């Protein structure tokens, strides 16, 4: 499964060309412009932006909870919402595929676009991919784009996003700028606490390898001393082929995998079969969540600890 978010570029181009190109360079803060609507491309980005802003500012997700971000197509209404937003926050690293480039190229004069990967300076090399293995398919040469699952990177993104929002609203909405600053500090404290909880609760499992439904958790797991082996392709609803299952089981044995994890948005047949035949505990990790970043991270930590504890208790 390639981690790509496929937007309807033809619709986007039609809308943007009809509206006319913007005249402001990317990243330039429009002086004295109020903040009313902010767009986040996927739920976890909303989960990191929503806490920074009071309810008077509308924060919209383009991919709704429960939808699979990989292969999702925006409706014309969603594209129009992005077009009229004051600020758009995206992931980058190819997650939005060509749509992000179109958003940037045809951006209205008063719109700003914040890209997570650029704001925290994450690229396609280094730690992002070094500790990452795949089971039962060809090795894909791209970085793990699921940067929001790493609490440390998320904290850096929140600081940069808050600075961008404060700079934007300070001239015309100074009270809102103060609110963003206070909310930033509270959110950073929450993220710090989650980081500490991950470090403490996962410490007993350091060095262990887990199998995930697709490459989404490598950054986070490596940060806390674990290792991800992932499945990035399955046979879909028809079920896994014998060759896929055999290759995956061989990798599980070779890599010493101790637990298998499903994802709510991904086909479950192959991970289930692997867990059954390898005699490994099965859990669920959600890389997208519902738009509440804190809840998503806490739920994933609980799932990791419970499943790894079950693995440790087995003879």
What pLDDT is recorded for position 78?
Answer: 75
Which of the listed CATH numbers 3.40.50.2300, 3.40.50.1980, 1.10.150.20, 1.20.140.10 matches domain 9-120+142-194?
3.40.50.1980
> What pLDDT digit, counting tens, does each position of 139-194 carry?
333 457 899 999 999 999 999 999 999 999 999 999 999 999 999 999 999 999 99
What value does the mean pLDDT take over residues 45-63?
Answer: 94
Q: Where are the domains of the chain?
A: 9-120+142-194, 205-310
What pLDDT is recorded for position 224?
Answer: 98
What pLDDT is recorded for position 235?
Answer: 38
What pLDDT is recorded for position 131?
Answer: 38
What pLDDT is recorded for position 70?
Answer: 52
> What pLDDT digit, counting tens, does each position of 235-267 carry?
344 456 788 888 889 989 999 999 999 999 888
As a whole-number percent, the residues of the chain with pLDDT over 90 amount to: 57
Which stretch of DSSP H or E encloses residue 16? helix 9-19
Kindly report which listed range (26-30, 76-80, 301-305) carries the lowest average pLDDT score.
26-30
Structurally, at CATH architecture level, domain 205-310 sits in 3-Layer(aba) Sandwich (3.40)
Task: Say if 9-120+142-194 and 205-310 have the same CATH topology.
Answer: yes
How far apart are the C-alpha atoms of 122 and 124, rounded to whole Å? 7
Residues 6+ apart with CB under 8 A from 176: 35, 54, 57, 169
Beta bridge partner(s), residue 186:
none
With tokens 């969540």, the residue in question is 289
């Amino acid at each position: 499964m390639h981690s790509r978010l496929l937007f309807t570029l033809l619709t986007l181009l039609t809308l943007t060309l009809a509206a006319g190109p913007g005249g402001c360079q990317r990243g330039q803060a429009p002086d004295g412009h109020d903040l009313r609507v902010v767009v986040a491309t996927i739920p976890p980005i909303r989960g990191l932006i929503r806490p920074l802003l009071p309810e008077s500012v509308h924060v919209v997700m383009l991919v709704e909870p429960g939808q699979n971000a990989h292969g999702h197509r925006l409706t014309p209404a969603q594209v129009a919402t992005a077009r009229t937003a004051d600020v758009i926050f995206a992931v980058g690293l190819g997650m939005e595929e060509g749509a992000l480039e179109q958003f940037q190229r045809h951006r209205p004069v008063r719109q700003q676009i914040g890209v997570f990967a650029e704001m925290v300076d994450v690229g396609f090399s280094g730690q992002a991919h070094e500790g990452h293995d795949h089971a039962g398919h060809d090795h894909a040469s791209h970085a793990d784009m699921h940067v929001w699952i790493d609490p440390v990177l998320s904290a850096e993104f929140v600081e940069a996003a808050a600075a961008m929002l404060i700079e934007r609203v300070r001239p015309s909405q100074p009270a809102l700028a103060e609110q963003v600053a206070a909310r930033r500090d509270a959110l950073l404290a929450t993220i710090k606490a989650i980081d500490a909880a991950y470090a403490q609760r996962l410490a007993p499992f350091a060095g262990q390898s887990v199998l995930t439904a697709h490459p989404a958790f490598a950054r986070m797991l490596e940060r806390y001393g674990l290792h991800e082996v992932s499945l990035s392709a399955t046979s879909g609803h028809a079920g896994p082929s014998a060759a896929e299952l055999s290759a995956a089981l061989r990798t599980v044995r070779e890599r010493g995998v101790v637990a298998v994890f499903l994802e709510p948005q991904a086909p479950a047949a192959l991970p289930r079969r692997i867990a059954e035949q390898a005699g490994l505990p099965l859990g669920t990790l959600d890389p997208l969540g519902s738009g509440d970043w804190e809840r998503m991270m806490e739920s994933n930590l609980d799932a990791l600890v419970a499943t790894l504890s079950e693995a440790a208790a087995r003879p």
